[in-house]
Amino acid sequence: MMKRQATEKFVNNNKTKRPFALWAGMMFLVFALALTGCGGGGTSAPANTPDQSAGTDTGTTQDEGQTAGQPIEAKIGAVFILSGSAAAYGEAQRNGLELAKEELNAANEGKLHLSIVYEDTGGKKESAINAVNKLINEDQVVSIIGPTLSSEMFAVGPVANEAETPIFGISNTVEGINDIGPYVFRNSLPESIAVPTAMKVAYEKYHFKTAALIYTNNDDFSVSGYETMKKTAKDLGLDILTEQSFALNDVDFSAQLTKIKEKNPDVLLVSALYKEGSLVVKSAREMGIDAVIIGGNGFNNPKVFEIAGDTAEGLIVATPFSPEKQDPKVQAFVQAYEAKYGKKPDQFAAQAYDGLYIMAESLLKAGAADRQKLRDALASLKDFEGVSGKLSFDENRNPIGEAVVVVAKDGKYVPFE
């Protein structure tokens, strides 16, 4: 931004002295600055107007506009957990994004070309902050997709917002994500919608009266999910018998589960990421806890079945996406995904896939790979029909969508009836 203003000032000062001879030299400088990425500050640099950039090699900076006959070149950053104990989320997200990128680049040939720079956070806030700074300042991306966890978004959202770079969460389900600032978006259904849906639907079938809660106490998503579960349990008039917690990466839950077993609740509410959550479910069943188990968004990954095996049977979760949905759009996505990766997509892959489609639609609407124009186009999104449902944003850019309730049966999730 500073450099862009300096360039404009230089242009103006000299224009008044020797109009034409200097004009050519100035244009050369403007192009050179734009091509080396110095013009990338969020709004269109002077070199982006069609007549000025005609004849140059467009497509190397984040804010190159669409010039006659040239596609919009959009470089997008992706910040995912690609290693460590929650890596299956990031893998699904990368798969969904790559599939969408191939489809979109083929469908928009000559109009829009997307490239993606991936960064792995390992689930750590510090790594997420470094990744976002690198993407914004070095790679000069037009926008960022991710990060995977809400706790990471709370750390990096303010950084992207300050740098006026749109950041788009595809799996951040905690309340308050959009309050970070006007450049922060998400298409992931908040747990405040998904969790009560699952609990109410299950309540109508089982009419449980007592509940126990167990959650990860040092992860924003898990804590927020626990609070939503507790509030919903109270709203349903349930008697909460005990609340237990543990930390990320814990593997032994026998002390907490022993206390829960003593209380014999009708329903056990679990708020955790897939690894800890699946181990809790497994241990609970192995210890003889026979309560109905309801989980949160963290369980929407097939790793649950790998870790918990048969003990996952009966686990109830809400999700905006089911690969079983008999909708032509969903089935086309499921088939393309299976053909490419040899397995069915989960919700994380689906929301990533939709996220890039939304980004592409918004870039085409913006008419340029320009951070500010893209932000405005994203903010005006309405009735986007994705594989994970229909999406609009409310006035705070929160997604408005619906959750379906699923239950684990024979190693996969099927609609809850």
The residues of the shown chain that bind ligand 1QQ, judged by CB under 6 A, are 89, 148-150, 171-174, 221, 273, 297-298
Rounded to an integer, what distance in angstroms lies between the CA atom of residue 2 and that of residue 98? 34
Alpha helices in 251-346 (DSSP H): 254-263, 274-286, 303-308, 328-341
CB atoms within 10 A of CB 126: 11
Classified as helix, coil or strand, 42 is: coil
Q: Of 188, 105, 202, nearest to 149 (Cα)?
A: 188
CB of 406 to ligand 1QQ, least distance (A): 15
Q: Of 168, 145, 58, nearest to 110 (Cα)?
A: 58
- 150/244 with CB nearer ligand 1QQ: 150
- 297/388 with CB nearer ligand 1QQ: 297
CB atoms within 10 A of CB 215: 27
Buried b (16+ CB within 10 A) or exposed e, 24-61: eebbeebbebbbebbbbbbebbbbbeeebbeebebbeb
How close are the terminal C-alpha atoms of the chain, in Å?
A: 55
| Encoded tokens for 261 | 């077993």
CB of 197 to ligand 1QQ, least distance (A): 15
CB of 132 to ligand 1QQ, least distance (A): 16
- 320/386 with CB nearer ligand 1QQ: 320
CB of 294 to ligand 1QQ, least distance (A): 15
CB atoms within 10 A of CB 194: 26
- 213/273 with CB nearer ligand 1QQ: 273
Q: Of 307, 308, 335, 330, nearest to 319 (Cα)?
A: 330
- 349/360 with CB nearer ligand 1QQ: 349
Q: Of 374, 321, 367, nearest to 344 (Cα)?
A: 321
- 11/248 with CB nearer ligand 1QQ: 248
CB of 278 to ligand 1QQ, least distance (A): 13
- 45/184 with CB nearer ligand 1QQ: 184
* Residues near 32 by beta carbon (within 8 Å), at least 6 away in sequence: none
CB of 387 to ligand 1QQ, least distance (A): 18
CB of 226 to ligand 1QQ, least distance (A): 13
CB of 186 to ligand 1QQ, least distance (A): 9
- 297/372 with CB nearer ligand 1QQ: 297
